[in-house]
């Protein structure tokens, strides 16, 4: 185990080349490290009293050059990690960044472990455990929806309700224990009816938070496979064939699908969500078409796998360019092959009338889903980690309510409130073990 006061450093920018690269440094010895490696006319660590940027350079040993850098320096504990911190911004060349990191390490810093910057922010009380997991969620987000969920959690979407709940229960526990201290005196710190009301309110709030996390876990648990393509390309018929019922309305009139449909399918033990969307077309015709295209775009952005449907019976059939902009797994599916004279040489050929190619399509979808790189970090990890803990808090408050209603004694009620606070503390990270922190932060990459 390393000391949390060690000066740590790592490359904090994304892998690969770029216009800008970042080496991040944190720890009580940051000033000494910078004094030994960073050269600037304006920078003097002994005089720095507030966060500021400086222009200068770092002399690299290999290659032997003066690398221009902009230093962002936080000399006080008001940084992200709660320690003196710095970032060196320079050219985003991987070899140069590696050489810059080597120079910083030679000046007295050690290489940071995975997630160590965020771990220090957590240990310093700058963020709670749910927000630390949200940092990982932002990094690993694969869609706009996942990113929005992670950013909401990072901004305190779970942390703030937890803080409020713990504060309310601590105040309630203080009132109860004050009454126990003066049990021989005729002093009532909290009336029985008020005790039951406050317990009921707290129990309801925790129940709502638990339900929110269960919903989040369920909604992100299954990969999503989205059908996209031009109008009347047979998407809805294919959707019904794969799902096994007639959920989607099918007609020869282009633009029949205006909303999008979701269904869960099982592909020989691999489950996923199948989504049927409106055909890709101009949305200038009316407000309904505009809304349909907006919903199609939203569904497509949330896709893990795309099925690009094309009508094999239409010699002019082609996908609009904007349907192919994503870099997610994509399968080209030719529909209505029973009406086509010649089968396409590339892609998957299917017919919902004869059933031809449907088994091959199911197998291809299954393979694509199995190859997905699923992450259990971020908001989904929070939901999985906290599900049982919040249920324990709800159960403790249920018992406290029953005891309060039956007037079984404030000592027993107080004990159940302490149990609920213990569970809430585990969610936020106010109560934690080294094993728990290892499980959370080991999923991070170095530099975060």
Clarify whether residues 211 and 268 are in a common domain: no
Residues 88 and 102: beta-carbon distance below 8 Å: no
User: Residue 403: what are its φ and ψ, rounded to 5°?
Assistant: -65, -40
Q: How many CB atoms lie within 10 A of CB 215?
A: 11
**Two structure tokens written together for 293:** 């295209």
Clarify whether residues 44 and 93 are in a common domain: yes
Query: b/e per residue, 321-331, with b = 16+ CB within 10 A?
Result: eebeeeeebeb
User: Residue 349: what are its φ and ψ, rounded to 5°?
Assistant: -95, 130
Clarify whether residues 214 and 230 are in a common domain: no
What is the band of 247 on the pLDDT scale with cuts at 50, 70, 90?
low
Clarify whether residues 263 and 197 are in a common domain: no
Of 321, 354, 370, the domain-final residue: 370
C-alpha R_g of the chain? 29
Whether 3 maps to a domain, the answer reads: no
What's residue 231's pLDDT? 81
Of 78, 112, 146, the domain-final residue: 112
From 351, 342, 385, 395, select the one nearest 134 (Cα to Cα). Answer: 385
pLDDT digits (tens, 9 = 90+) for 25-70: 999 999 999 999 999 999 998 888 999 999 999 999 888 899 999 9
Q: What is the pTM of this model?
A: 0.60
Residue 107 or residue 369, greater confidence: 107
Of 353, 370, 387, the domain-final residue: 370
Domain encompassing residue 64: 8-112
Tokens 């490359």 belong to 11
Clarify whether residues 280 and 401 are in a common domain: no
Clarify whether residues 102 and 145 are in a common domain: no
Q: Measured between alpha carbons, how far is 47 from 62 in angstroms, rounded to an integer?
A: 31
Whether 129 maps to a domain, the answer reads: no
- Kindly state the average pLDDT of the residues 209-214: 76
Distances (CA, A) of 254 to 251, 274, 278, 350: 8, 21, 10, 20
From 385, 384, 383, select the one nearest 426 (Cα to Cα). Answer: 385
For the chain, the domain total comes to 3
| Residue 253: pLDDT over 50 | no
Clarify whether residues 261 and 359 are in a common domain: yes
Whether 403 maps to a domain, the answer reads: yes
Mean pLDDT for the chain overall: 81
Signed CA dihedral, 81, 125, 155, 376: sign only: positive
Q: Measured between alpha carbons, how far is 353 from 343 in angstroms, rounded to an integer?
A: 15
Clarify whether residues 242 and 303 are in a common domain: yes
Residues 416 and 397: beta-carbon distance below 8 Å: yes
Whether 40 maps to a domain, the answer reads: yes
Residues 206 and 390: beta-carbon distance below 8 Å: yes
* CATH number of the CATH domain containing 150: 1.20.120.430
* CATH number of the CATH domain containing 30: 3.30.1360.120
Clarify whether residues 38 and 159 are in a common domain: no
**Two structure tokens written together for 424:** 């809430």
Clarify whether residues 256 and 239 are in a common domain: yes
Q: What residues are paired with 74 via a beta bridge?
A: 85
């Amino acid at each position: 185990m390393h000391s949390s006061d060690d000066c740590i450093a790592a490359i904090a920018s994304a892998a690969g080349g770029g216009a800008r690269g970042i080496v991040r440094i944190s720890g009580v010895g940051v000033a000494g490290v910078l004094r030994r490696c960073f050269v600037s006319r304006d920078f003097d660590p002994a005089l720095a009293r507030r966060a500021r940027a400086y222009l200068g350079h770092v002399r690299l040993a290999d290659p032997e050059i003066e690398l221009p850098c902009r230093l962002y320096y936080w000399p006080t504990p008001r940084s992200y990690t709660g320690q003196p911190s710095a970032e060196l911004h320079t050219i985003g060349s991987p070899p140069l960044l590696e050489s810059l990191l080597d120079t910083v390490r030679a000046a007295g810093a050690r290489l940071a472990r995975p997630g160590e910057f965020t771990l220090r922010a957590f240990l310093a009380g700058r963020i709670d455990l749910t927000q630390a997991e949200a940092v990982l969620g932002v990094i690993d987000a694969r869609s706009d929806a996942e990113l929005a969920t992670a950013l909401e959690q990072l901004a305190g979407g779970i942390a703030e309700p937890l803080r409020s709940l713990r504060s309310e229960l601590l105040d309630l526990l203080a009132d109860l224990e004050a009454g126990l201290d003066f049990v021989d005196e005729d002093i009532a710190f909290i009336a029985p009816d008020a005790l039951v009301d406050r317990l009921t309110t707290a129990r309801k709030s925790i129940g709502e938070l638990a339900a929110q996390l269960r919903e989040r876990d369920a909604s992100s648990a299954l990969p999503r496979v989205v059908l996209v393509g031009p109008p009347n390309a047979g998407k809805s018929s294919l959707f019904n064939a794969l799902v096994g019922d007639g959920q989607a309305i099918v007609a020869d009139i282009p633009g029949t699908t205006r909303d999008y449909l979701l269904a869960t399918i099982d592909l020989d033990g691999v489950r996923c969500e199948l989504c049927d969307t409106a055909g890709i077309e101009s949305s200038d015709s009316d407000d309904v078409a505009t809304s349909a295209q907006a919903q199609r775009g939203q569904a497509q952005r949330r896709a893990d796998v795309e099925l690009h449907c094309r009508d094999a019976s239409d010699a002019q059939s082609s996908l609009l360019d904007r349907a192919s902009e994503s870099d997610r797994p994509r399968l080209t599916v030719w529909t209505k092959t029973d009406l086509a004279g010649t089968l396409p040489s590339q892609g998957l050929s299917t017919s919902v009338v004869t059933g031809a190619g449907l088994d091959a399509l199911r197998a291809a979808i299954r393979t694509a889903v199995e190859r997905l790189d699923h992450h259990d970090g971020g908001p989904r990890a929070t939901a999985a980690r906290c599900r049982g803990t919040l249920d324990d808090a709800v159960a403790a408050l249920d018992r406290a309510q029953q005891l309060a209603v039956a007037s079984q004694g404030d000592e027993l009620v107080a004990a159940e409130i302490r149990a609920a606070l213990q569970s809430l503390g585990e969610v936020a990270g106010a109560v934690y073990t080294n094993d728990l922190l290892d499980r959370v932060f080991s999923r991070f990459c170095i530099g975060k």
